[in-house]
Structure 1
């Protein structure tokens, strides 16, 4: 099970944080939304890790993408039941209740809601648990591009089925998806020239570094921001 490291360094949750707003129903889900809606504007779906949509660093990233011209939605795929940061002993039971396959079904409804609003260019990024949801979306033409960040549950077979431009950002210190697995992803993608790809392993960082970094640690912030920049560049290139 891909849980050996996925919930290290749990964050402090803050449901009031961010420049955006939480709506009760977007595609059937409570959703943090950042950016002013315009049907001609590209949209990005962010699929959170097991700690859900109230993670300040995740909302900061959503706000950053919104400031760069995207309409950003961060759906609550856990229906108000993220992993409690103060009790990680519940993780095995929580995983049984919250399978990524259900998140994928919910994500399709969010994508549908965006398209019904007139949005034609949609990208998606997933963190840890959320990366499995996003790689499932990447197996169809419903979205334009994806980014997987320190993924969990993603398999070699998943990567073989990807149809849209994909970036995989992995951690050097990661028992969940170790560098040798990330390199397998890269090898598979190299045999698919019709699918643009970018794979990068970040030195000296641990699983979860992009949204669970300590904001007072300058080095950690720099590594996270490097990944955020790679993510933004990918979407600027392929989600139009």
Structure 2
């Protein structure tokens, strides 16, 4: 039974906790987040993240469309306290999902976040979704694989066979249903802002598919982190700007291919390349250098979403 956003509009104005739902169960799976007091079957969490590279990072878009990132190296590392976040387990036309909503300073904007092959419950995806929600967004993270994500314990020789079981048509149908649900629920809450979509790796490739199929113009923008197997044939059908973030040492997401797709889309799209970074560095950093660039990439993404979802949809 899907959760409802009917109380979201009032919570945005009052700062009250959103999602006073009818028939949805709530629970917080094991994570590094500390649960606070809950009420009415609702679990509220406070997102505290020990900064990997907690510098004062800001991303500013210049008049010519370039993105400049400024980093203050003098700021001491400190704990970053995020806004309170609600997390609900929802089911939408048979697709399980997590819905994360900012409790304070909710900006009334929805984001569809598409995971990598390890699925929507993987801690790296969950942590990133929390952080985005901490910035005021309402984030829906669906199970793209219908209970059968790729497992790190499976031999790589089985990967292609597993991937063939993930029917592209079924995934497109699921994302269409998820989008419609978000549109309907936001309309019921009196919110008219358009949506954004973002994804990592497998999900990053599906960002282009979702936007290309968006005949009703529900989405205002997309963000693709090192998307894999992007269908360049449909890129020309995308009618909104897309931010592509990748590393120049990523064998799974070639920069040249991204730039060709960027040109096909147009609409102010942008490719941001991080020198020396490989696949997955933003949501799965493995080195101090990854950490620093992951923070910069997050700042660029946050600036992009603010511009295309909040400023342009006022």
TM-score band by shorter chain is: 0.7 to 0.9
2:178 matched residue in structure 1: 110
Q: Kindly tell me: are residues 187 and 154 of structure 1, through their superposed partners in 2, closer, same or farther at Cα, counting changes over 3 Å?
A: same
Mapping of residues 27-66 of structure 1, within 5 Å: 27-36=93-102, 41-66=108-133
- Counterpart of 1:224 (choices 294, 302, 305) is 294
Structure 2 length normalisation: TM-score? 0.64
Shift of 1:150: 0.5
Out of 38-47 and 226-235, give the one that drifted further: 38-47
The equivalent residue for 1:74 is 141
Per-residue CA deviations over 1:179-238 (Å, capped at 9, x if unaligned) read 22123233434xx3xx12111111111112222223xx3322112222222222111111
Q: For residue 135 of structure 1, what is the aligned residue in structure 2?
A: 208
Counterpart secondary structure, 1:61: helix
Tell me which protein shows more helix as a share of its residues.
1
1:158 aligns with 2:225: no
Give the superposed CA RMSD.
2.3
Shift of 1:41: 0.5
Q: Take 2:106 and 2:283, find their aligned partners in 1: how far apart are those partners?
A: 28
Structure 1 residue 77: Cα displacement: 0.9
Asked which structure has the greater RCO (Cα within 8 Å, sep 6+), the reply is 1
Structure 1 unmatched ranges of 5 or more: 1-13
CA contact (8 A) 2:106 2:136 kept: no
- Superposed counterparts of 1:84-103, under 5 Å: 84-89=151-156, 90-103=158-171
- Aligned residue pairs total 221
Classify the secondary structure of the residue corresponding to 2:228: coil
Q: Is it true that 1:16 corresponds to 2:30 in the alignment?
A: yes
Residue of structure 2 aligned with 1:210, choices 265, 282, 287 = 282
Structure whose alpha-carbon radius of gyration is higher: 2
Change (3 A) 1:21 1:36: same
Deviations 1:66-94 (A, max 9, x none): 11111011101111111011114321111
Indicate conservation of the 8 Å contact 2:100/2:140, yes or no: yes
Contact preservation (8 Å) 2:111, 2:195: yes
> Displacement, 1:104?
2.1
| Structure 2 residues not aligned, in runs of 5+ | 1-27, 34-44, 46-85
Could you tell me how far apart the structure 1 residues matched to 2:291 and 2:88 are? Answer: 26
Aligned to 2:244, what secondary structure does the other structure show?
Answer: strand
